[in-house]
Amino acid sequence: MRPIDADALNMYLCELQMANLGEDDDYCETLNEVIHIVDGQPTILAETVEHGEWTVIEDDYAGLTLIECSLCHEEWCFEVDPDDLDLVNYNYCPNCGADMRERKET
């Protein structure tokens, strides 16, 4: 799921509608219908994103690196250099959904 700013979308659609007013009535009517569809969608509460990190548990598990999620402690085996866990292609923990990408400072 990708939450969007529905108000900004509607504002953009209204701008398109105003720019074409009187030129293409079918287009404007379609935009009006889309605006009403967007307005009718339920609002969801944004969840707080939990950030975690991969930590090395064992670096020679049958030639693989055994790592775990710092939040749920689920263990996974990867063929990566234990000193460079950036190579792990999972941006999220498959078990708990924790965001494993670097936190952006705000």
CB atoms under 10 Å from CB of 35, counted, come to 19
CB-count burial class (<10 Å; 0-12, 13-18, 19+) for 101? exposed
Same domain, 84 and 106: yes
Strands, E assignment, 4-91: 54-61, 64-69, 75-78
Same domain, 62 and 89: yes
Q: How confident is the model at residue 66 (pLDDT cuts 50, 70, 90)?
A: confident
Does residue 1 form part of some domain?
no
Radius of gyration of the CA atoms of the chain, in A: 23
Tokens at residue 46, please?
């944004």
Same domain, 53 and 35: no
Same domain, 29 and 66: no
57 within 8 A of 70, measured Cβ to Cβ: no
* pLDDT for res 11: 92
Does residue 64 form part of some domain?
yes
Same domain, 79 and 56: yes
pLDDT at 106 over 60: no
Amino acid at residue number 85: L
Among the ranges given (8-17, 61-70, 93-102), the one the predictor scored with the smallest mean pLDDT = 61-70
* pLDDT for res 105: 55
Residue 17 structural domain? 6-39
Number of domains, the chain: 2
Residue 68 and residue 99: Cα distance in Å, rounded?
13
Same domain, 96 and 79: yes
